A and B are shown apart, each in its own frame.
Chain A
């Protein structure tokens, strides 16, 4: 268990480090950052002073060192677009993304798990086919398009919810459904196939022979074991929800980190972009490690491996 955990944590650090290298190199490849801070009226003196402040007069490896030591302290420099520290902007935007991710994740569980169980139990019947449709759409429709279609139907035509922004409590519904659909589909498929395997097993047959009720078999013997595959997948889900927010927040003008990243990218606001990418990666690896720990806790085969 400890060895397993240690490996996961080391891997998380290596991941963070490689992302920081990639993003640092890309930042330098895109040109001298002074070009975005200074304009035509700046003097050579300004240019040099700025270079000293940003550490551009040092060799690249030292610059990278400065970048990392800053990042560790939560200092990514100042955002060009917003004119204030990057960390302030990120902290301001993060709650919206976390909220969206949380609601979408809940939806994916609330829809995916029951529908997956019902699909497995009523294999081949209408409900199962309905489940298949939901899963197929979720896995095949591009999320941004799904979002646009939902927006057109429920916000423009029916006017049940606001089309974009974050004004009322119901603003979150469309983005969360859009984001959650894909993962609901994945959960549905995983639960369904795991459930089918479990329901076919010897101990379920024994339980039935002993006279356990149908519901009892499904919920107690079936579901408990069928939950392991989706749990493995949860790490991927939670992490990918963060990336999915990139697209969905852009469609629905949701004021979170995903939209911030896209805006920063197209405004060539590199300090902000670097900050957001590192924050995203940090969220990603943290979730991955947490889920692995949980997984090891639930499945003893991992713990003692």
Chain B
């Protein structure tokens, strides 16, 4: 069968510009944030399948094992009279030094390997109870994902309903609701949340509720603003004329118009929720131990930092930071794409 060639076959250079064009298009998409968030969500979902160790059971004989690429540099120590401040790793006191090398004198530099180097068994090292840091981070992702989804569900829904009502009815309903938002914005919330969690009992439910209380006002305020604009539009008036009920107008006609804004707000709020949850966990008011949450992992690793055990608090912190960075970048991108008007209000 004969095929008539009508076009000119793309030259190699043409293909390059084509590739270049694709690259340029891709560069505008938030690829890195999406990849990071996918990894976090997938690890959360498949935690039991992919984590190499049990996150809660440790092996006390394998405590403080460094990450696989790292062998502790505290091999060389100066011999001193007496180690006054514990944890000063570059010093070793004379009596101990004599045990290693009977000839040791004050001021000598001794090469001592007190800790084993990292191994592939614990990719990111093990903590002070001999638990695998990587497994705990993977399970911690699960906590963060659950917290994000549930608080967003409760707080977001509540905020949206309040915002719809305030925007639609106006008057005293609006006044009361918006003053509530104002009050929420002007009290030291972390402190109140902390007191609430400790007083009401440190359970997952209480923490989720407190976090939901944190985030609803932002949704309410945003949706209210949208409703105020939309409710005077022609299509809403037409819906009214055709006899649609108030509930129908609010949820079928107005609510969809607020979704773009909501997606942006939700993305940015998830970052805030994750930071807040980790703060509560860090202060000891989070998900009760031994369940691994990123914030409490940092708190547990903190005391060992002076002893050079940096990995058990560094990696969970990096996990939080990367997740929140990804959410912020994605949120910014969504805002620029879906709703440029929002840019004016940070």
Contacts and interface: CB of A to CB of B under 8 A. Distances in A.
Interface string A141-154: 11111101101100
B271 interface: yes
Contacts of A29: 199-200
A94 interface: no
Given A140-B328, A144-B282, A145-B298, A273 B275 contact: no
A243 B185 CA distance: 12
Contact of A285 (B186, B275, B324): B186
B183 A277 contact: no
B321 A262 contact: no
Contact of A142 (B190, B196, B317): B317
B336 to A, nearest CB: 12
Interface in B267-317: 271, 275, 278-279, 282-284, 295, 298-299, 302, 305-306, 308, 310, 313-314, 316-317
B186 A11 contact: yes
A193 B313 contact: no
Contact of B198 (A266, A277, A281): A266
Given A11-B183, A23-B195, A26-B195, A163 B346 contact: no
A189 B284 CA distance: 32
B317 A243 contact: no
Contacts of B299: 144
A23 B194 CA distance: 12
Contacts of A156: 87, 305-306, 308
Given A29-B199, A163-B306, A190-B346, A149 B317 contact: yes
Contacts of B295: 142, 144
> Chain A binding site: helix, strand, loop or mixed by DSSP?
helix
B27 interface: no
Given A140-B271, A265-B194, A266-B284, A288 B298 contact: no
Interface stretch (A13-21, A119-127, A203-211): A13-21
B279 A247 contact: yes
Given A139-B328, A151-B305, A265-B195, A246 B317 contact: no
A99 interface: no
B325 interface: yes
- Interface-central residue, A149, A186, A190, A193, by most chain B CB under 10 Å: A149
A246 B283 contact: yes
Nearest to A268: B198
A141 B321 contact: yes
Interface residues of B, number: 45
A26 B194 contact: no
Contacts, number: 129
Interface string A53-87: 00000000000000000000000000000000000
B328 A152 contact: no
A137 interface: yes
B259 interface: no
Contacts of B179: 11, 14
Nearest to A143: B279
Interface string B193-220: 0111011100000000000000000000
Contacts of A236: 185
B320 interface: yes
B100 interface: no
A261 B308 CA distance: 30
A145 B313 contact: yes
Given A148-B302, A284-B186, A142 B199 contact: no
Interface of A: 11-12, 14-15, 18-19, 22-23, 26, 29-30, 136-137, 139-146, 148-149, 151-152, 156, 163, 186, 189-190, 193, 229, 233, 236, 239, 242-243, 246-247, 250-251, 261-262, 265-266, 273, 276-277, 280-281, 284-285, 288
Given A140-B271, A140-B328, 15 more contacts: A19-B187, A26-B195, A26-B199, A136-B328, A140-B321, A140-B324, A140-B325, A145-B298, A148-B305, A246-B191, A247-B282, A273-B195, A277-B191, A277-B195, A288-B186
The 7 A-B pairs of least Cβ separation, nearest first, read A145-B317, A140-B324, A140-B325, A243-B188, A141-B321, A280-B188, A26-B199
Interface of B: 87, 179, 182-183, 185-192, 194-196, 198-200, 271, 275, 278-279, 282-284, 295, 298-299, 302, 305-306, 308, 310, 313-314, 316-317, 320-321, 324-325, 328-329, 343, 346
